[in-house]
């Protein structure tokens, strides 16, 4: 499987790459081109090949036609009931930009350019808050019934905070995590115990609370199960809130400021997206598309001519108005291609 090797994220620090999988129904897309717009089959394939989906479609939580999440490998399209032969899987890998990932990402992207149309690389600006939420969502998927859950969340946070350390190695060698009474910052391992400086320790507790608060029974942390009130109270008494400049009083305000602080504060972060189009291109090659009905094509052509020459006049009749809409839609598709 030489192909698989191209997309190798092993050089990236853990939890810095988020994959999004979407199933795209090619039959649904083809229908729009041929039945709605009257575009011939061959041209339809060309249009589809050149199409780059919007990031919202690839990574957003709301899925609209022609995208869906296939419940199983044999699932039919929820919109047109087509079988899996006409479905392609688009996987988008989101990489949070920054010192921890930039070198590995550049190397990866350089390798992908030789793969031609197989991959698309997109970029978008994001805030630290958004990037942090994406990461939290990933953490929330860890199995909370696993007794090592708290260890996994702690490791995940430390990986995010100090991405250059090999935390797998550190965690393999320790059996206990403690707050250090000696360290002013950072961490150390002593006699198979991991000691965290107070600030890092309390941030770890806060993250444990945030990730687990939706679980049954509320926030589970190194400090036991805590309510928000209890968490805030401990953070205050430990001196952590003062140290990081959070001066609010109500627990809700403190929580909001805490989230913002943990995320990395103000400012932005660049998000990089690698879209794996290989399955899409393969499936598209095999896709059989029926030609649009001749009559419909002729009608559309006439309509297009009329629309171009007599734009103002067409407004008067509802029927013709509809035709203009279709032509505009067709133009929009052409633009998207670029």
Q: Which residues bind Zn ion (CB under 5 A)?
A: 25, 27-28, 77, 79-80, 82
CB 208 within 8 Å of CB 196: no
Q: Write down the least CB distance from residue 62 to Zn ion, Å.
A: 17
Q: Determine phi and psi for 221, rounding to 5 degrees.
A: -140, 175
The region that residue 218 occupies, defined by phi over 0 for left and psi between -120 and 50 for alpha, beta otherwise, is left
Q: 75 or 80, CB closer to Zn ion?
A: 80
Q: Write down the least CB distance from residue 67 to Zn ion, Å.
A: 10
In this structure, are strands 224-226 and 193-196 parallel, antiparallel, or unpaired?
A: unpaired
Q: 37 or 108, CB closer to Zn ion?
A: 37
Q: Write down the least CB distance from residue 37 to Zn ion, Å.
A: 17
Q: 32 or 257, CB closer to Zn ion?
A: 32
Q: 57 or 130, CB closer to Zn ion?
A: 57
Q: 23 or 220, CB closer to Zn ion?
A: 23
Q: 9 or 79, CB closer to Zn ion?
A: 79
Q: Write down the least CB distance from residue 44 to Zn ion, Å.
A: 15
Q: Write down the least CB distance from residue 45 to Zn ion, Å.
A: 16
Q: 28 or 100, CB closer to Zn ion?
A: 28
Cα–Cα distance, 55 to 48 (Å, whole number): 17
Q: Write down the least CB distance from residue 82 to Zn ion, Å.
A: 5
Q: Write down the least CB distance from residue 27 to Zn ion, Å.
A: 5
Q: Write down the least CB distance from residue 254 to Zn ion, Å.
A: 48
**Crossing angle of helices 318-337/294-309, nearest 10°?**
90
Q: 81 or 184, CB closer to Zn ion?
A: 81
**Is omega for the bond preceding 252 within 30 degrees of 0, making it cis?**
no
């Amino acid at each position: 499987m030489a192909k698989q090797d191209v997309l190798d994220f092993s050089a990236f620090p853990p939890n810095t790459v988020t994959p999004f999988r979407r199933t795209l129904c090619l039959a649904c897309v083809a229908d729009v081109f041929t039945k709605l717009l009257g575009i011939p089959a061959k041209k339809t394939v060309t249009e589809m090949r050149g199409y780059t989906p919007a990031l919202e479609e690839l990574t957003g939580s709301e899925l609209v036609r022609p995208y869906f999440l296939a419940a199983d490998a044999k699932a039919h399209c929820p919109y047109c009931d087509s079988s899996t032969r006409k479905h392609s899987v688009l996987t988008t890998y989101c990489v949070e930009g920054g010192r921890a990932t930039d070198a590995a990402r550049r190397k990866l992207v350089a390798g992908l350019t030789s793969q031609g149309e197989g991959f698309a690389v997109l970029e978008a600006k994001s805030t630290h808050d958004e990037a942090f939420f994406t990461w939290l969502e990933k953490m929330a998927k860890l199995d909370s019934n696993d007794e090592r859950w708290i260890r996994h969340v702690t490791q995940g946070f430390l990986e995010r905070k100090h991405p250059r350390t090999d935390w797998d190695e550190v965690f393999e060698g320790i059996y206990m995590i403690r707050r250090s009474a000696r360290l002013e910052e950072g961490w150390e391992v002593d006699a198979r115990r991991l000691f965290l400086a107070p600030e890092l320790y309390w941030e770890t507790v806060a993250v444990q609370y945030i990730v687990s608060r939706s679980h049954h029974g509320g926030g589970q942390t190194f400090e036991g199960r805590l309510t928000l009130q209890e968490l805030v109270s401990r953070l205050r008494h430990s001196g952590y809130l003062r140290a990081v400049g959070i001066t609010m009083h109500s627990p809700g305000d403190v929580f909001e400021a805490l989230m913002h602080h943990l995320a990395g504060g103000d400012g932005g972060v660049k998000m990089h997206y690698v879209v794996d189009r290989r399955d899409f291109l393969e499936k598209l090659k095999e896709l059989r598309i029926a030609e649009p009905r001749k009559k419909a094509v002729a009608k559309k052509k006439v309509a297009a001519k009329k629309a171009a020459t007599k734009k103002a006049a067409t407004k008067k009749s509802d029927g013709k108005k509809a035709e203009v809409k279709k032509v505009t839609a067709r133009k929009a598709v052409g633009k998207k291609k670029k």
